[in-house]
Structures are given as C-alpha cells and as structure tokens.
Chains A and B, each alone.
Chain A
Amino acid sequence: MLFTSLDFFLFLPLVLAVFALTPVAQRWAVLLLASYVFYGYLHPFNLVYLGAVTLVIFGCGWGLERATQKTMRVALLVLGLVAVLGSLTAFKFYDFIAGEIEHANLFANFKLPRLGITAPAGYSFYVFSAASYLIDIYVGRLSGKQNLGQVALFTAYFPKIFAGPIERATNFLPQLLSGLHADPVRFALGLQLIGWGLFKKVVIADNLAPLVDHSFKIVAFAPPLELLISTYFFAFQIYCDFSGYTDIALGISLLFGLELMENFRRPYLSRSTAEFWAERWHISLGRWFRDYLYIPLGGGRAGALRRAINIMIVFLVSGLWHAGLGYGVGWNFLVWGALNGAYQWAGLATRGLWRRIGEALPRVTASAWLRVLRIVITFHLILLSWVFFRAASMHDALLVLQKIGARITDLPHLLTIYPFSTEQLTGFGLIAFLLVYEIVDERRPVFQRLAEAPVALRWGTYYLGIFALLLLGRWQAKEFIYMQF
C-alpha cells in the first residue's frame, strides 16, 4: 500500500479510529496489526521475510541477554547479523556478482545458479533497523528482555517500513512502554507534515520524474542541455521523493503519538559535503553508518590514514547499500560512494587551510556571499555524484558527463535557443518554490511561523497546499524511489 493511494487514505482513518477506541496500553497492538496489513497488502508473501527477520533478531537478542560467555554472545551477534545482513547482500548482489564472474570468463563455460528474486520492498530499511537492535543489545544500550510483539512493531511499523527513517529501538521501544497518546498539537503538526510530504512527492518529485526518466533512458540521443536540466531535476526529484516519504512517515507517526527521528534537514543548503552527509541528508542512515561501522572501525581515533580509510569504507558500503535502487545494480553505485568519500578526503585535507584563512580574514569567511558560494559549490559536487547514482550504468554516467562537459562553454548560447517545454518551465518553478520555502524554513520553521500567523493566513495557506495537491499532483506513481530495495 502506498501513501499516495486511495487505499491508504481509507486505511489511515480506519486505523486511527480503532487506535483511538483502544485502551492506551494495547494501542501498540493495533499498530502492529495495521503494519502487517499495510505491508502484506499487495504481496502477502513479503510478510514471511518480515516475520523471519523479526524472529531472528528477537531470538538472538533474547539469547544475548541471557548468555554470559563472551564467545556465546559474539556467536549470537554474528549469527543474527549474518542472517539479516547476509540475506540483504544476497538479495542485492548475488545475481549481479554471478553474472560478473561469468562475464569475466575466468572459468570456461562456468555457469552459476541464480536466485532470480529481488529483496521485498523496504527490506534494506528494516534489516538495518533490525541489525541496530541486535548491536544495541550486544553493547548494552538496550535490554534484550523485550516484548516480541513490540519488537515486531519496531521492525514492521508501517509508516517507516518502506523507506525509513532507519529507526533505533532505543528511541522507538521506550515510547511504546510509556503508552501512545496523540494530542491536538502533535495531531495538527502531523497533518501538516503529511501535507508537505505529499506536496514534495506528488507535486514536485512526480512532475520532475517523467522529464528525468526520458533523458536518462536515451542518454546517447538526448541533447547535452537536456541532460544537464535533467540532472538538476533529478537532484530535486530524489530529494522530494525521499524526504516527502519521510515527512509523511513522521507526520503519520505524530497522529499516533510516536516521534520518529529526523531524516532530512534542508540538505541542499549544506555548506560542505561533510555537513550534507553528517547532518542533513538521510540522517538516520548516516548515523547508522557512524555508530555501527565507522566508530567500530576505529573512527578518527587511530590516526589520519586510518580515519581516511574508514571514511572511504563507509562511503563504499553506502554506495553498495544504495545499489539496486530502481536503477539496477552496477559499478556506478560504487563510484558514487567513492566520489563522496573522496569529497570527505578533500574536506579533511583542506580543513587546516580553511581554518587559517578564517582566522586571517574573519569578515570574509563570515560574509553571506561566501556562505552562498559554499552552498552552490557543495550542491554542484553532490549534483555531479547524482549522475552516477541515476544513470543506468557506468557507461551512461560517463556519457552524460562527457556530453555535458563537451558543451559546457556553449551553455549561455544554448540556453538562449533551447525550446523549453511547459513541463520543464513548471519544473523550474516548482524547484524555485521549494528553495524559497527551504531558505525561509532554515531561518525559522515554516510550521512555527504558520502557527503564529493569523487564522485567515494560516488556513489560506493550508487550502492552497491542499488544492495544489489536487490540481497539480501526479497521483498515478506506483512507488517511491527508495522503497525499491
């Protein structure tokens, strides 16, 4: 079931009604049932995967709580992690690697069997949440004495199951124990978040999507300027698609009195790629990698070289995690990860220089124009990496860059003669609106401004938003990008 489907708009009020009529102590059970209905709605068999992951982590967590010997504890942790992360790796990469091995022709006429199946929707997300549950019990951040039903809800919770945030049990489970209450303020904020998330998804992302898809499908034939426009559009498509989903997930959760972790914070206003990845884009994944990969690898504690290696490992693994995101599995995702890792290296290498410049020229470094320049440069570095993310293959990615690069000096002239379509102009208008909104929101949250505004202005804004959804939204989309794992 999709957040943008009619089924969901009927499902949600029904769940809310049952939730409101259920005693507080049992409300989590309503959400668990709703989550299984939601997840199994189109593909009931996917519930088998979900159930298996839940049982594996609950069983291993239960064992970890009771095991006293270190070897037993390590064995249980490894067993659980191999089961959940190993299955994810197999789903994502086994067939691809088998194909690459055969393609390399290392062994004459060597044929490997194929799985022939892909991971169920959202698998990457709930597997990562599940892995964090086990690790948190192992390191003592979480007790292994949990209620199976509540652990099942943590894994299956329907607003986040397809595309996150990658929630932590340490944040989620205590909220269940204290009972779920929805109050008018959180309810109203939840509705606003749902509305804004839907706007980003069906109005912005889905109006940009056809233009992006068209160009990236025919890279060899698309004009360079069209490819450039589509690359810009993709940057905003993927942001609005993914953060739209997250906003809806956070909003729905507030209706039930649950607070999920923040996942996006106006990422295209980042002043460095480090800020982009650490504080603004897919925050829950960034923190997951930080806590469960980067720090266990030694983080920045073991010297500069080791730190650089650890950073690159994190970004390469992140690239692998993103592979298969509806655009296939290919080496381009690894390049995407490596490129972003290289950005971090460059940032670390020049950090001292920037600090010295800042000390020597404090007024220049504090100026607004330099801030804007840094934002623009950061955005374009990220934009460059998105080409590898979106292209269907390495060949396509390099062709896009080659075609754009070859005509980069002609751009001003090309822009004057290019026949912009109505759809493209609409796309630029929507992006401009989003940027203005985010700049305003960066200074003081728009929701907060609205809450303090006169009723006529507040309600007028709400109605404008709702009717923009009705009049301009593309409700026919069959998926969110990030749920295609």
Chain B
Amino acid sequence: MKQFGKSALLFVAIGLLLYASVFVATERLLMRNGHSNPFFKTATAEAPNYDWVILGASHAMTLDFGGFNALMERETGLQILNLASQGTGPLYNQFVLEHFLRTHRARNLLYVIDSFTFTSRAWNEDRFSDAKLIRGTPFEAATAQLMWNYVRHDGVSPRALLDYLSGFSKINNRDRFQRDAWEGEAQFDRVYRPSATAVSKRIAYLYPDATAPDVIARYLRDFASLIEIARQHNIRVIAVKLPTLTLFYNQLPNEAAFDLASTQVLTDHAVPLHDFSAALDDPRFYFDTDHLNRTGVTELFQRRLKPLLTMPSTE
C-alpha cells in the first residue's frame, strides 16, 4: 500500500509538471492568436494612456471590426481602445475597466448601453464563467485576484476562477490554432435581409429572463459603481445607445421603462446620454438583426460619433 502511495504521488507530480508545460504552451499560443478579448487587448495595448476607452457588449465591438478602430484613430487623431466584449453587461465591464486601470490610464469612457445586459445574470455574473471569454484572457495573477473579489462580493461562480487558474478552457480550446475573434466580425461586410422570425429569436435569446425591475435596478447599481470607478480615475463618462432597426427596437421588452430607470442613474451621476437608437433605420446598415455593418458603422461615425469623440471636455 505504501509503495502504491509513493507511485501514485510520483505519477501525480509528473502529471502536474506536464500540465504546467501545456499551460505555458497554451498561454503562448493565446498571445499569438489573441484578438478581440478585452484582457488580451489590455495586455497588448502599447500606449499607457488613451483618450477613449469603449465598453459594452457586441454592439460596441462593431466599432473595432475590420480595422475600424484604427480608422477612427486616424480621423480623430485620438488614441482609442475598444474593450467591449460579446454579451457582457455592466458587471463584467466593470471587471474589464478595473483590470485596465491597473496598468493604463484613460481620459474618457464611452459606454454603449444595451438594455438586455441589465436584465439577466446570464450577461453579467455568468459571463465570467464563459469558456470563450476565459480562453482569450491571458493569465495574470492580478486578474485572478480581481476575479476573486467578484467571486466573494458579486455572486460570480468560483468555477470561473477555477477555470481561469487551471487554464482548462484554454487547454481544451478546439479553436486553439485559430484567431480568437468573435464570429460576428467575419460578417462585418454583409448586408442584412430583414426577417421577423430572426428578430423574434434574437429577442428571445437576448432576454432569457423577464425584465424584472429589481434585476434591472441591481445591474444599474453595478453600472453606477462602474461610473464611480471611472470618476475616481478622473475619467469622463459618456453613455450612448447605438442604432437599431425599428423592427428590432419595437420588440425590445419594456425598453421605455429601462430608459427611464437608466436615465435616472445617468442623471444622478451627471453622465450625458446620446441616444442614437433611431439614427440608422435601414437594413443596409446592418449585418444581422441588430449589429451594424461596415457601412452602418461608417455612417454612424461620420454623422454622430466623430463629433462626440472630438468634443472637448467641459469639466
């Protein structure tokens, strides 16, 4: 029995060494194939200071598709870092911002508000456990420590931290040799053909839970915390709602109630809101039910965003 125990220990020790080697190899692979993950972008961001940081869910990610962020930087002469990530609400974005501010500085924060991200834990606490996000997040002890705070205080599952620390999702990544890009980016140049069925399915997906006022209030508090964190770092915050098709917008559940509640939070924190929801109501500006394509992003940038980004701060 004693000999069996010794052999077992040696077997485990060698196994752990091998595991560590695979862990290191996958981290290196990630640094080679990383692309859209906000933590990867922060780790590889060359400038220490940015004029603008953009946060939000996938709708905000379109501003960095197909090299559009670089175009915005050229046209405005500003340094912009887009840290939005798919399906993420205020809690996850707060995590991203806190992590970013450990090593970088920004003068302005553009937060793209999507009502669906305030209605469910699926877009907040649960996003920390999402394998697709974890496998694109480079390993850093500081990130793990920060994630631990969210586990302790914000109801994030310890599995997320365990996955991150063990590197399991990275090691088990079937797309390990492909660029870590969200699938929507490949459709950036497509044009959408409206479909009521597709819209209904999309709405059902985005709003898996009822739009309960107490849930919205909970995530609005997280959003307020995010604004507070930005303020503590002397960052000016501007909120925007990006354009959607009327066909899509009309099916958003309780959007008016959400607007009322979010406007209250923004007013309390003196954050201006620019609502571009109705700015581009033509399918040619979208690549699917609700994401702007290159034409749409270009139009939005030229007509609305460029003046906003270059507007001098009055504070």
Contact = CB atoms under 8 A, between A and B. Distances in A.
Interface of A: 6, 184, 188, 459, 462-463, 466-467, 470-471, 473-476
Contacts of B172: 470-471, 473, 475
A173 B15 CA distance: 38
Contacts of B19: 470
Interface string B150-166: 00000000010010000
Contact of A470 (B14, B131, B159, B171): B171
26 contacts: A6-B159, A6-B162, A184-B1, A184-B4, A188-B4, A459-B11, A459-B14, A462-B11, A463-B14, A463-B15, A463-B18, A466-B15, A467-B18, A467-B22, A470-B19, A470-B22, A470-B168, A470-B171, A470-B172, A471-B22, A471-B171, A471-B172, A473-B172, A474-B174, A475-B172, A476-B131
A263 B163 CA distance: 34
Contacts of B22: 467, 470-471
A466 B19 CA distance: 10
Interface in B90-131: 131
Contacts of B168: 470
A6 B121 CA distance: 21
A467 B159 CA distance: 21
Contacts of A475: 172
Contacts, number: 26
Contacts of B18: 463, 467
The majority secondary structure among interface residues of chain B is helix
A83 B264 CA distance: 60
Interface residues of B, number: 15
Nearest to B22: A467
B133 to A, nearest CB: 14
A306 to B, nearest CB: 54
Interface of B: 1, 4, 11, 14-15, 18-19, 22, 131, 159, 162, 168, 171-172, 174
Which interface residue of B11, B22, B159, B172 has the most chain A CB atoms within 10 A? Answer: B172
Contacts of A466: 15
Closest 5 CB pairs of A and B: A184-B4, A470-B171, A470-B172, A463-B18, A6-B159
A104 B210 CA distance: 40
A95 B168 CA distance: 43
Nearest to A470: B171
Given A6-B159, A473-B172, A474-B174, 16 more contacts: A6-B162, A188-B4, A459-B11, A462-B11, A463-B14, A463-B18, A467-B18, A470-B19, A470-B22, A470-B168, A470-B171, A470-B172, A471-B22, A471-B171, A475-B172, A476-B131
A442 to B, nearest CB: 28
A475 B173 CA distance: 11
A177 B18 CA distance: 43
A7 to B, nearest CB: 9
Contacts of B174: 474
Nearest to A475: B172
A205 to B, nearest CB: 15
Nearest to A423: B174
Nearest to A207: B174
B87 to A, nearest CB: 17
A138 to B, nearest CB: 44
Contacts of A188: 4
A229 B168 CA distance: 31
B18 to A, nearest CB: 6
A209 B174 CA distance: 15
A341 B106 CA distance: 74
A470 B131 CA distance: 14
Nearest to A466: B15
A470 B173 CA distance: 9
A250 B127 CA distance: 36
A473 B131 CA distance: 14
A470 B171 CA distance: 7
A476 B174 CA distance: 12
B83 to A, nearest CB: 26
A474 B168 CA distance: 12
A6 B162 CA distance: 10
Contacts of A184: 1, 4
A184 B1 CA distance: 7
Contacts of A467: 18, 22
Nearest to B4: A184
Nearest to B171: A470
A475 B172 CA distance: 9
A466 B11 CA distance: 12
Specify which of A466, A470, A475, A476 lies most central, judged by the most chain B CB atoms within 10 Å of its CB. A470
Contacts of A463: 14-15, 18
Contacts of A6: 159, 162
A473 B162 CA distance: 18
B18, B22, B131, B174, most chain A CB atoms within 10 A: B174
Contacts of B171: 470-471
Nearest to A191: B8
Contacts of A476: 131
Nearest to B162: A6
A73 B11 CA distance: 56
A471 B131 CA distance: 14
Nearest to B173: A471
Nearest to A202: B172
Nearest to B167: A470
B301 to A, nearest CB: 38
A6 B165 CA distance: 14
Contacts of B159: 6
Nearest to B3: A184
B265 to A, nearest CB: 36
Nearest to B169: A475
A192 B81 CA distance: 50
A466 B18 CA distance: 11
